[in-house]
Amino acid sequence: MEPNNSIEATEVNPNEVLRENILEMYSEGVTELEQSLNENKVERKRPRGCVVISLWEEDESYLTSSMFEKSFQDLLVQAKDSNIDLDFLLVCNNGGGASPRIGEEMYNRIDSLLKKHLKEESIRRIITRKPNTEDIDAATAWDIPVEIAEIDEREGESRAFLIRQQKDSSDLNKGKVRALRDVSNFLYAQIVKGYAPDFVYQMDAETILSFNDERGLLVKTPFRTMYDNLVRGKLTAVGTKDLFAIMEKESGKPLLTTPVGPTQLGYQIENKKKFITLPGGALMSKVANYVSGMRAITHYTPNVGVEDYMYTKVLRTDAERKNIDFNTVVRSLNTTRHLNRTPSDWVAAIKQMSNWRMHARAVDDILPGGEYIPYDFFTNAYLVIDQRVRDSKGGKVVEHLFQIPKDLAAVPKILNEIYSNKKANINDRYGGVTWTTSS
């Protein structure tokens, strides 16, 4: 199904046009892909999932590579213990790094990691190709020249496709959403040709799944818990809760006893109490819905920095139009959590959350309903301070108490950034975007 560009945004409300175009492309894509998946269904003894991840190094600390080494190994172990096989689509986004040298080094590190854990015949290395057309913008997918069927699917073995996304001189490939653009279009074509994974799992470089409380849950891995909820619950998508952590730059190790910024802690507390969004760092979904959703999102809003929140809103809006209870479509698992990296500097941490909110507000304009409305400032402040006190008790790190004065000092910036009405231009079709930029 080709994108619908027939409606001019000047005829009606631009957000209404975007909403209808996104939902139409999503719905038609789901129909076509479900048909292909049913026709090409593989009877497997072990389910096979497609893992999607975008990797990019910002500096010579190579923190992304270090974090991914840990998360990759952890996922392989969990998948093996869960009797699940995986196909990794690893995108070195926009050249892979802030400079060609950094990108090359990151690519080599990931390649070495794959060779350490997978058989050589189970690895493919691909460079994306620029479309052969003059009319290119940030929504234009670049070609990933490989056929998944080229690698034999063997029970008990995972496969990896290491994709080097070329750096574009106009930054049209810059940002996770641009990696998802290429992957979703690639998967769409591959599924039509016969590729039929059982689910898609989107993760980040730092993603490591764990249980909130491991008592009585040791019979399964967190990964298998997600899969069982998706399949047995007949859900469209499953997510986990956030566990924010500052990462040690030299090793990529999560500093779990180090206090995180007040905005991240507040969000983490709130997210435990209610459903906010499926998380882009640990999102498991039915194949047809994920691929069609990301393909529509990246085509019509190629500058969005919260594709997870927007995918959640697409599923919600689609369910409402079909008079389906959203709780039977999506589930956020209270028992399971995933690591989510946050900056150590509190100003940067506030900016990170502020930019998330700016992109989310723009998404709400296009897909109203089920908006994330954070707790009011005073409720949030009480919950954060209360949690700091709790975390400092019982022999825990006293730094949590010392963080409270820093939290109070951050109040003016929090009020200005988090509780503002600023919005990002998420349908801009030129230039680059990252999760932490506001434009």
pLDDT tens per residue across span 68-85: 999 999 999 999 999 999
pLDDT computed for residue 4 by the predictor: 62
pLDDT computed for residue 435 by the predictor: 52
pLDDT computed for residue 133 by the predictor: 86
pLDDT computed for residue 216 by the predictor: 47
Q: What tokens does 10 get?
A: 């000047």
Question: Above 80 in pLDDT, residue 431?
Answer: no
Question: Above 70 in pLDDT, residue 31?
Answer: yes
pLDDT computed for residue 11 by the predictor: 61
Q: Which residues contact 26 (CB under 8 A, 6 or more apart)?
A: 289, 292, 293, 296, 314, 318
Express each pLDDT in 309-332 by its tens digit: 999 999 999 999 999 999 999 999
Express each pLDDT in 200-219 by its tens digit: 999 999 999 999 875 545 66
Express each pLDDT in 384-423 by its tens digit: 999 999 888 866 778 888 889 989 998 998 888 888 889 9
pLDDT computed for residue 146 by the predictor: 97
**Separation of alpha carbons 287 and 52, rounded Å:** 12
Question: Above 80 in pLDDT, residue 65?
Answer: yes
Q: What tokens does 41 get?
A: 């269904």
Of the chain, the end-to-end C-alpha distance in Å amounts to 29
Q: What tokens does 436 get?
A: 């932490």
The pLDDT mean for the chain works out to 92
Express each pLDDT in 326-377 by its tens digit: 999 999 999 999 999 999 988 899 999 999 999 999 999 999 999 998 899 9
Mean pLDDT of 289-301: 98
Mean pLDDT of 15-31: 98
Express each pLDDT in 231-254 by its tens digit: 999 999 999 999 999 999 889 999
Nearest to 289 by CA among 314, 320, 306: 314
pLDDT computed for residue 324 by the predictor: 98
Q: Enumerate the domain spans of the chain.
A: 14-417
**Separation of alpha carbons 417 and 437, rounded Å:** 13
pLDDT computed for residue 217 by the predictor: 54
- Matching residue, tokens 């270090």: 66
Please give the CATH topology (third level) of the domain spanning 14-417. Answer: Spore Coat Polysaccharide Biosynthesis Protein SpsA; Chain A (3.90.550)
pLDDT computed for residue 437 by the predictor: 40
pLDDT computed for residue 100 by the predictor: 95
Question: Above 60 in pLDDT, residue 7?
Answer: no
Q: What percent of the chain has pLDDT over 70?
A: 94
Q: Provide φ and ψ at 357, rounded to 5°.
A: -65, -40
Pick left, alpha or beta for residue 279 (phi over 0 → left; psi -120 to 50 → alpha; otherwise beta).
beta
Question: Above 50 in pLDDT, residue 439?
Answer: no
Q: What percent of the chain has pLDDT over 90?
A: 80
